Structure 1
Amino acid sequence: MYWLAQVNIGRMLAPLSDPVMAGFVAKLDEINTLADNSEGFIWRLQTPEGNATSLRHFEDELILVNLSVWTDLATYANFVYKSQHRQLIQQRRQWFQKFEGPYTAIWWIPREHTPDVKEAKERLEHLRIHGETPYAFTFKKTFPAPAESDNISSPLIVKG
């Protein structure tokens, strides 16, 4: 059985302490609580403070990473597009620069696996180079969860 992992990254217009980011910072706890309590939510990357905004995984200090796991594509899509999270997406240009290249990727993971940022960055890079494949995709072109016998851990084996 598989779960759905997702990553999205964004380059802030300014550091989190800057007044231009105040609206985003004010919504963090609300949106994270909404995710935590959403149908299908399994896990998200976070520090003891309850979010991942203090984690820096890129050379560019203004890039934030969101990484989470969901039971399936439908529940994740409901959270993204049919909850209060949708308002945050609509307001993103107030806080984040337009990103060149893929800034979000989705992929299937075995249930016992917890993705890390290194893996997420690999998925984004694979998406940038190869476009949507079962290894990394977006809502524009989705792929079903693999059969138990499929190997989804290697980008060299792309079934489709």
Structure 2
Amino acid sequence: MTMQLAELNVGRLLAPTDDPRVADFMAGLDQVNSLGKRMPGFVWMMEGSGEPGMGNTEAKIGGDPQFVSNLTVWEDAASLETFVWKTVHKQFYDQRADWFEVLGKMHFVMWWVPAGHRPSLDEALKKLAYKQEHGDSDAAFGWSYLKEAQAWETHGCAEVAAE
């Protein structure tokens, strides 16, 4: 069975999506998401309403309108790694402290899914909770667990705000 890599990244915005403090983040969502969808190895992204400039910010976590999530599936770790660390996405990553609260716990998780599977946000949040409780395992893991992933080491994956 062919497996693909799912990832969930959650963060809590410093302010509501229409607040000037997060305006640069909101303005860049369409550009970053569009680039991701065109990347070699991209498979699927959980979508929002489709309204320009909103990304998937409508998918609330725990009813909190400032908690936002990104859930995608990739053919392999190399494809996701290239997008995250070697495109304009890296510039957004570097600015995350400008837009997101420091959560105090891991808020990024990856796991393998059968090709064709589209994980739900609930499934992804369970994977994140599992990783938070048990650490890296075959069931749920971060960059350091993937032997083939190396760019995260040189590009800084510090636990500051959203990853």
**TM-score using structure 2 length:** 0.84
Query: Counterpart of 1:52?
Result: 56
Q: Distance in 2 between matches of 1:91 and 1:57?
A: 22
Query: Counterpart of 1:35?
Result: 36
Once structures 1 and 2 are overlaid, which stretch shifts more, 17-26 or 47-56? 47-56
Within the candidate set 126, 130, 134, 1:130 is matched to 134
Aligned residue for 1:140, secondary structure, equals: helix
Q: Distance in 1 between matches of 2:68 and 2:147?
A: 26
- Are the counterparts in 2 of residues 137 and 143 from structure 1 also a CA contact under 8 Å? no
Q: Distance in 1 between matches of 2:72 and 2:104?
A: 22
CA RMSD of aligned residues (A): 1.3
Aligned residue for 1:80, secondary structure, equals: helix
Which AA in structure 2 matches 1:104? F
Aligned residue for 1:57, secondary structure, equals: coil
- The alpha-carbon deviation at position 143 of structure 1 amounts to 6.5
Query: Counterpart of 1:73?
Result: 77
Once structures 1 and 2 are overlaid, which stretch shifts more, 85-94 or 40-49? 40-49
- Are the counterparts in 2 of residues 35 and 79 from structure 1 also a CA contact under 8 Å? yes
Which AA in structure 1 matches 2:3? Y
Q: Distance in 2 between matches of 1:106 and 1:53?
A: 20
Tell me if 1:18 matches 2:19: yes
Which AA in structure 2 matches 1:53? T
Matches within 5 A, 1:60-139: 60-139=64-143
Q: Which runs of 4+ in 1 moved over 6 A?
A: none
Identical counterparts, % of pairs: 34
How many residues align? The count is 144
